[in-house]
Amino acid sequence: MAKSPLESMSLLVVEDDSDLALSIAAVMATAGIKVEIASTFAAAESWVGRSKFDVALVDWFLPDGEAPEFIRRARLKDETLQFVVMTSQNSVDRAVDAIKAGAEQFLIKPLDFEALQIVLQRMVEKSNESRSAAAAVEEDIDPFGSQVADIERSRCAQIAAQSGNVIISGETGSGKGVLARWIHVESGRRGPFVSLNCAGLNPELLESELFGHERGAFTGANQRKQGLFELARGGTLFLDELGELPRVSQAKILKAVEEGRFRRLGGTQEITTDARLIGASHADLSDPEVLRPDLFYRLATYRVTIRPLRERREAIDAITRSIVRALRPGTQIAPDAMAALRTHRWPGNIRELRNVLERSVSLLRGNQLTRDDLDMLNVSSGSVEPGAEFGLELTLAEVEAAHVARVLRHHGGNMSQAAKSLGISRTTLYKKLAQHDSANTP
Amino acid sequence: MKLSADQERALEGARAMFRERLGDRLEDVKAAVDRAAGGDGERYDAYRLAHSLAGTTATLGFTHLTPALRILEETLEVETPDWLEARACIDRVIALHRDPS
């Protein structure tokens, strides 16, 4: 018999009425769901910080706060966690507040266990689908994106073949994680690629994640946990948002990196690791205020800077094609769609481009993505850059020639109208056309 | 999606456990109302206990108690409740629990 999706699910019940919480836990655990209970938002936050849950079922009203604030804080710790809010008041305002905060579902008490189970099943199915789609896209994106970037690709391949640590710099969304994964794959290292986003983690939690802990090391440490340094043995440990590392944790990480060994929290036995470290940040990690210099130099054996997407427009075509291919193989991209994508500044970089393509492809009916199909509604306003349709590799003369030709085409070859649009005389326009012709003559 | 037979059994077990604890929980609400009415406790604490118990009785099928608990919750929701009414409410709920007929 096929395994129910619920059997792979983990649920955090955030409810201060212990009888209700235990009842939910008893019914859902019988369906194979792994359930934990938190009776306060503080306890729930602590759970979210140290364990992975698919869904948090959250009562609106707890002694230490209300659901929306908790959801906002918890999302910072785990952006994939989904929330179902329960309340005894069927209030539109509450539903709107909950959804604005990031809740997926809103259930009214008295709770119907069958309805809850259906909601959870749908959520876990959706979560599985989006995870596999995201993973497919992540793996298929070519972080370089074009032949122009062959020099970067070649340098990164050389770096991948070495064993030294790497620091990747770049704006948010520029593909630092994708490049880190690419380096790991290219390196041929046999161990796994494991990653941790250091942003928003307090030192205790961060150290528990990195080094693991022994049973009883602290309140709530009910069982031994392996840390990421241990899990990444023979592979790569990717630390994203490295600039957010608490100062006190930097010293401990430095020691582990220098000596290649560490102890789990509460442990006495030394554990060795040969994980390669790749750190990434949008901040300047060479700034001693951000990262202590000894740790920086230990990690910065190789340094790679990813240029923002707006500075490598020549890569947009290839990156777009690789994302669309991963999302829906066989989908064609019409020239007008590609032109529209090229003209945006993409302040959110590849992540923003990917989001636009995911939304657009998910709603696409045929097999060709046109300009009209592009869901650019949520693209940052004012993001169109004048002249952005021209690649950075063009010279000024080439840009002028292309623009003149375009204006002429627009006016159907009418020299007077084209000259007027360009703000030059007809004579000057003829001269420019002659110059461009001679420049193109071999 | 219907609950499986095992889940129904688990729910029945949870209800049985709640039934055993219900008397104590009602006494907790009564004590909180008495403390708040006498100035030794917070109205809000009594309100929260009533609110929580009303929701749980409704969810776990003890619906004969829910309407009276909701009236108690509403009585305690205002800044200066009618304490006589609040005490009468919780006494009514306790009586209903002891003799559902």
What's the length of chain A? 442
> What's the rounded Cα separation, in Å, for the pair A334 and A368?
6
Give yes or no for residue A386 having a pLDDT over 80.
Answer: no
CA distances from A197 to A76, A79, A234, A245, A393 (A): 10, 11, 20, 10, 35
Give yes or no for residue A231 having a pLDDT over 90.
Answer: no
A17 part of contact set with chain B, CB < 8 Å? yes
Q: How many CB atoms lie within 10 A of CB A143?
A: 25
What is the DSSP secondary structure assignment for residue A56, as one 8-state letter?
E
| Helix, coil or strand: residue A220 | coil
What pLDDT does residue A23 have?
Answer: 93
ipTM score here?
Answer: 0.94
B20 part of contact set with chain A, CB < 8 Å? no
Name every chain B residue with its beta carbon within 8 A of the beta carbon of A17.
52-53, 55-56
Average pLDDT for chain A: 82
Which stretch, A16-20, A346-350, A373-377, has highest mean pLDDT?
A: A16-20
CA distances from A391 to A313, A319, A346, A382 (A): 6, 15, 15, 19
Please give the structure tokens belonging to residue A395. Answer: 């010279």
Q: How many CB atoms lie within 10 A of CB A9?
A: 23
What pLDDT does residue A376 have?
Answer: 64
Name every chain B residue with its beta carbon within 8 A of the beta carbon of A19.
14, 17-18, 21, 25, 56, 60
Residues B66-77 have a mean pLDDT of 95
CA nearest A62 in B: which residue? B48
Residues A414-435 have a mean pLDDT of 83
What pLDDT does residue A149 have?
Answer: 54
What pLDDT does residue B23 have?
Answer: 95
Classify residue A263 as exposed, middle or buried by CB count within 10 Å of its CB (0-12, 13-18, 19+). middle
B16 part of contact set with chain A, CB < 8 Å? no
Give yes or no for residue B80 having a pLDDT over 90.
Answer: yes
> What's the rounded Cα separation, in Å, for the pair A419 and A437?
17
What pLDDT does residue A27 have?
Answer: 94
**pLDDT grade, residue A397 (50/70/90)?**
confident
Give yes or no for residue A131 having a pLDDT over 60.
Answer: no
What pLDDT does residue A239 have?
Answer: 94
Residues A323-351 have a mean pLDDT of 86
**B25-51 pLDDT, tens digit each:** 999 999 999 999 998 888 999 999 999
> What's the rounded Cα separation, in Å, for the pair A34 and A311?
47
Q: How close A26 gets to chain B, by Cα (Å)?
A: 6
CA nearest A32 in B: which residue? B7
